[in-house]
Amino acid sequence: MAATLTDETLIQQAVAGRQSAFAMLVKRYEKYVFTLALRFVKNREDAHEIAQDSFLRMFRYLADFRGECKFTTWLYKIVYSTSLNHLRKQNPDIRSLDDDEHPIRLKDEGAPDATRNMERDDRNATLQRAIGMLSADDSSIITLFYLYEQSLDEICQIMDLTMTNAKTKLHRARHRLKTILDEKFSVEIKEF
């Protein structure tokens, strides 16, 4: 039943104050929101916090969603901005993810040890781990484009980029992903 309701219907019901509609929206998008948050902070505890904050902000501002863009684009923009605020709290010098003077570097705690448990990992898991080693900026653009299938135009809206910037970032992110795969996972992935 819940799966048959469109996002638009759920949004209307939620705005009208129906609690179950909010719950269905959370259930429907919890993995997307959590994964995107995890791309930024690289540890599950902080990602849970960001995901929860993002949903609360979504609820607060749902009545202001006018349908000028896709609901998912609007939601990912909230996650992106919440994650950015979270990172700024940790490092007040950060102005944006594009800040060359204060680039966001990943914590190593989530970074995989390439020599451990190699046999157990399949290609998908290896790729996930390699993406996890990218910067927040790179991993989020790859996640948005390939995993969430957001168009370049939608990514521009979410990340507040120009089309040229978004394209460049995507190229750069792919290049860095390839480098990581070559350097750290060459045993597991020969072709990447």
Burial class (CB in 10 A: 0-12, 13-18, 19+), 136: buried
Binding of residue 98 to another protein (CB under 8 A): no
Give the closest residue to 113 by CA, choosing from 121, 101, 122: 121
Stretch that binds another protein, among 3-11, 97-105, 111-119, 122-130 (CB under 8 A): 122-130
Give the residue, chosen from 40, 55, 76, 185, that forms a contact with another protein under the rule CB under 8 A. Answer: 55
Binding of residue 71 to another protein (CB under 8 A): no
Q: Report the distance separating Cα 57 and Cα 62, nearest Å.
A: 8
Total number of residues shown for the chain: 192
Nearer to another protein (CB atom), residue 19 or residue 162: 19
Nearest-10 crossing angle of helices 152-159, 163-184: 100
Binding of residue 94 to another protein (CB under 8 A): no
Provide, rounded to whole angstroms, the least separation between the CB of residue 55 and another protein.
5
User: Where are the extended beta strands (E) located within the chain?
Assistant: none
Instruction: Please name the residues in contact with 61: beta carbons below 8 A apart, sequence gap of 6 or more.
Output: 78
Binding of residue 192 to another protein (CB under 8 A): yes
Binding of residue 149 to another protein (CB under 8 A): yes
* Residues contributing to the site for another protein (CB under 8 A): 19, 22-23, 26-27, 30-32, 34-35, 38, 44, 47-48, 51-52, 55-57, 59-61, 64, 77-78, 81, 123-124, 127-128, 131, 142-143, 145-147, 149, 152, 160, 167, 170-171, 174, 191-192
